[in-house]
Amino acid sequence: MGYSKETYQKAKDLIFQRKLKAENDAEIRQQRLFAKIPRAKEITKELTACGTAAARAVVKGGNAKDELEKLKEKSLSLQSELHSLLVLNNLPTDYTEPKYVCKKCRDSGYIEQNNKTITCECMKKALADIACEELNKTSPLTLSTFDTFNLDYYSMDVENNSVSPYTRMSKIFSFCKSYANSFTTESGSLLMRGATGLGKTHLSLAIANEIIRKGFSVVYVSAPAILSKLEKLHFSSKYEEESNTEQTLTECDLLIIDDIGTEFSSPFTVAALYNIFNTRILSGKPLILNTNLTISELEKEYSQRFVSRVIGSCTKMDFIGKDVRSIRRKV
């Protein structure tokens, strides 16, 4: 199972642009060096000439050993002189070398291993990131942060619960910040439960923003939207696109699905949702689920086996209080 041709092309273009920038920047630094230290330009020309002469000696054949040894000694002497010039002018010794983003493949996207050309990790990450971006195009990922989450909207009064909304939400807020700060691809999964407008979406998006800044791939989708998309792709026989979408959902570093239980339920959507969840659980990849439904309501919507399997692998957080959005509208 692979990515779409469009995703591959975007990833290749991204890696190529990195390589181009690194080499263009190196060329600019080299020209600045030559302007400042003319001898550096002469040394560079002489080093190039040594390389050309060595290649000719090899092609020429015969007893080229002595000639190659002399060229090697000359080349080392020139390199030493250039090194000294750079140090003398307070410049790093690799000043004219390209600063590739990935030193392993030198921003080519591929490496040689055991006489085989394989995809470099940087290319794999680029593919994952681009695939995630495609799914996140309509997501409000930039709208919510921990800084904009206001605990003042939660009451300090203890009512039906044994704890006030403010106390409960303060603990949840701290937990979410800690989760984001210490996130790894082996972090646990979360289930955020509670009525509409209590901050589930806000905090899950705040987690996403922090994790994305650390370089992890994150997908945020609403259950109704993503399941509707998968169902349309499936029944219109667009199996490749359906497969690509499912792969991104199951392989991203963190998957966040909002509004679980509000989608139009059908045998296909239930099976698709379970497959996504189960695949991530089996591979140890974390997910965050948000729902307005209780556990018993989720069991009615899906099944006890489904809920037990999926929910049993999550840390549960019950959001309490009054609808923050309605409170804001009144202020």
The total of structural domains in the chain comes to 2
Using alpha carbons, select from 235, 226, 3 the residue that is nearest to residue 136: 226
Same domain for 244 and 285, yes or no, is yes
Residue 130 lies in a domain: no
Q: Rounded CA gap, 156 and 74, in Å? A: 80
Same domain for 187 and 325, yes or no, is yes
Give the strand pairing for 110-113 and 116-119.
antiparallel
Same domain for 147 and 253, yes or no, is yes
Same domain for 243 and 284, yes or no, is yes
Residue 125 lies in a domain: no
| pLDDT tens digit at each of 331 positions of the chain | 356 677 888 899 999 999 999 999 999 999 999 999 999 999 999 999 988 888 888 777 666 788 888 888 999 999 999 999 999 999 999 999 999 999 999 999 999 988 899 999 999 888 888 877 776 776 666 668 899 898 988 888 887 668 899 999 999 999 999 999 999 989 999 999 999 889 998 999 899 888 888 878 888 888 888 888 888 888 887 777 788 888 888 888 999 999 888 887 888 888 888 889 889 988 899 999 999 988 888 888 888 888 888 778 889 999 998 877 776 666 5
Residue 129 lies in a domain: no
Domain boundary among 62, 92, 119: 119
The token pair that represents 170 in the structure block: 């303060």
CATH number of the domain bearing residue 237:
3.40.50.300
Same domain for 145 and 278, yes or no, is yes
pLDDT for 1: 39
Q: Rounded CA gap, 150 and 148, in Å? A: 6
Residue 124 lies in a domain: no
At 191, is the secondary structure helix, strand, or coil? strand
pLDDT for 66: 81
Length of the chain as a residue count: 331
Backbone dihedral region of 102: left (phi > 0), alpha (psi from -120 to 50 degrees) or beta? Answer: beta
Using alpha carbons, select from 86, 169, 128 the residue that is nearest to residue 254: 128
Same domain for 48 and 165, yes or no, is no
pLDDT for 141: 65
At 300, is the secondary structure helix, strand, or coil? helix
The token pair that represents 168 in the structure block: 């409960």
Same domain for 161 and 89, yes or no, is no
pLDDT for 108: 94
Domain boundary among 86, 119, 152: 119
Same domain for 326 and 230, yes or no, is yes
Place of tokens 């996140």: 136
- Provide the domain limits for residue 269: 136-330
All residues at 6 or more sequence positions from 207 whose CB lies less than 8 Å from its CB, including other chains = 176, 179, 180, 183, 254, 256, 288
Same domain for 320 and 227, yes or no, is yes
Using alpha carbons, select from 313, 262, 254 the residue that is nearest to residue 288: 254
Residue 156 lies in a domain: yes
Using alpha carbons, select from 134, 283, 99 the residue that is nearest to residue 221: 134
Same domain for 217 and 312, yes or no, is yes
Residue 284 and residue 254 in contact, taking contact as beta carbons nearer than 8 Å: no
Residue 127 lies in a domain: no
Residue 128 lies in a domain: no
Same domain for 62 and 155, yes or no, is no
Angle between helix 121-135 and 5-36 (nearest 10)? 120
Same domain for 80 and 148, yes or no, is no
Q: Model pTM?
A: 0.68
Give the strand pairing for 254-260 and 218-222.
parallel
Residue 61 lies in a domain: yes
pLDDT for 192: 94
Domain boundary among 119, 154, 181: 119
Using alpha carbons, select from 284, 136, 305 the residue that is nearest to residue 212: 136
Segments of 183-270 assigned E as strands: 189-193, 218-222, 254-260
